[in-house]
Amino acid sequence: MKLKCRNKLIHQIAFLKNIKENSADLTVKQAKIADYILSNYNKVAFLTAAQLASEVKVSESTVIRLATSLGYKGYPEFQGDLRNIIVDQLTSTERLEISIHSESKNNLFNRTFLKEVNNIQEAYKNISPDDFRAMVDVISTSEKIFIAGLRASTCLAQYFTFQLRRIRKNVTGIIHGGKESWDLIREGGPKDLLIAIAFPRYPRETVELVDFATHLKMRVAGITDRIVSPIARRCRPTLLTLSELVTFVDLYSAPLTLMAALIAEVAVRHQKKSFACLGGFEDFVKESKLFYEMGRKEVM
Contacts of 102 (CB under 8 A, 6+ apart): 46
Contacts of 44 (CB under 8 A, 6+ apart): 36, 37, 52, 79, 82
pLDDT at 239: 97
Measure CA of the first residue to CA of the last residue in the chain; give whole Å: 49
DSSP state, residue 231: T
What distance in Å separates the CA atoms of residue 279 and residue 196, rounded to the nearest whole number?
Answer: 29
What distance in Å separates the CA atoms of residue 180 and residue 98, rounded to the nearest whole number?
Answer: 37
What distance in Å separates the CA atoms of residue 216 and residue 187, rounded to the nearest whole number?
Answer: 8
Q: Do the domains spanning 2-86 and 126-288 agree at the CATH topology level?
A: no
Q: What is the pTM of this model?
A: 0.71
User: Do residues 222 and 228 lie in contact, with contact meaning Cβ atoms separated by under 8 Å?
Assistant: no
pLDDT digits (tens), the chain, 300 positions = 434 444 444 444 456 666 766 666 788 898 888 888 877 877 788 788 999 999 999 999 999 999 888 888 899 888 877 876 666 566 666 666 666 655 555 577 888 888 899 889 989 998 999 999 999 999 999 999 999 999 999 999 999 999 999 999 999 999 998 888 999 999 999 999 999 999 988 999 999 999 999 999 999 999 999 887 899 999 999 999 987 666 667 889 999 999 999 999 999 999 999 999 999 989 998 999 988 887 666 655
Task: State the CB neighbour count (10 A cutoff) for residue 38.
Answer: 13
Task: State the CB neighbour count (10 A cutoff) for residue 210.
Answer: 24
DSSP 232-278: TTT-SSEEE-----SSSS---HHHHHHHHHHHHHHHHHTHHHHHHHH
Q: Which residues of 139-157 are buried (b: 16+ CB within 10 A; e: fewer)?
A: beebebbbbbbbbbbbebb
What distance in Å separates the CA atoms of residue 151 and residue 276, rounded to the nearest whole number?
Answer: 33
The packing angle between helices 253-269 and 154-165, to 10°, is 20
Pick the CATH number of 126-288 from 3.30.420.40, 3.40.640.10, 3.90.1150.10, 3.40.50.10490: 3.40.50.10490
Q: What's the CATH fold of domain 2-86?
A: Arc Repressor Mutant, subunit A (1.10.10)
Give burial (CB, 10 Å; 0-12/13-18/19+) of 219: buried
- Using CA atoms, how far residue 256 sits from 36, 83, 87, 99, 243, in Å, is 39, 24, 20, 25, 10
pLDDT at 2: 39
Listed by start position, the domains of the chain span: 2-86, 126-288
